[in-house]
Amino acid sequence: RKEVEQDPGPFNVPEGATVAFNCTYSNSASQSFFWYRQDCRKEPKLLMSVYSSGNEDGRFTAQLNRASQYISLLIRDSKLSDSATYLCVVDGSSNTGKLIFGQGTTLQVKP
């Protein structure tokens, strides 16, 4: 079983749609969770951290379910500029700061 699993997609949605991505992780001891965004041929960039209580940043909402070991990202009112690959990221060993990256979910927002 992969340490972090995501549906690779692609998710093709029209502008204005709401889309949700899920991710599961295997290490129940993980404490830190993130969503990164990666544009084509660019480096990953932090989109948002994921907190136990859930958190929102504009059109983006992240949720964490520790009991089921899954993380979600909801994007409302999709824009063309949201087209990218979204990486689910979970911490590994705390003293080294290692992160475990999912393979990513590709989103294509169409006009």
Partner 1 sequence: SQTIHQWPATLVQPVGSPLSLECTVEGTSNPNLYWYRQAAGRGLQLLFYSVGIGQISSEVPQNLSASRPQDRQFILSSKKLLLSDSGFYLCAWGRQGAGLQFFGPGTRLTVL
Which stretches of the chain bind partner 1, using CB under 8 A? 31-32, 34, 41-46, 49, 87, 91, 94-99, 101-104
User: Least CB distance from residue 18 to partner 1, whole Å?
Assistant: 26
* C-beta closer to partner 1: residue 44 or 55: 44
Question: Please, are residues 35 and 62 in contact by the beta-carbon 8 Å criterion?
Answer: yes
Say how far apart CA 87 and CA 33 lie, in whole Å. Answer: 11
- Cβ neighbors of 29 (< 8 A, separation 6 or more) are none
Closest approach of partner 1 to the CB of residue 62, in Å: 14
Nearer to partner 1, 102 or 109 (CB): 102
| Bridge partners (DSSP) listed for residue 55 | 62
Which lies closer to partner 1 via its Cβ, residue 15 or residue 39? Answer: 39
CA distance 82 to 53: 24
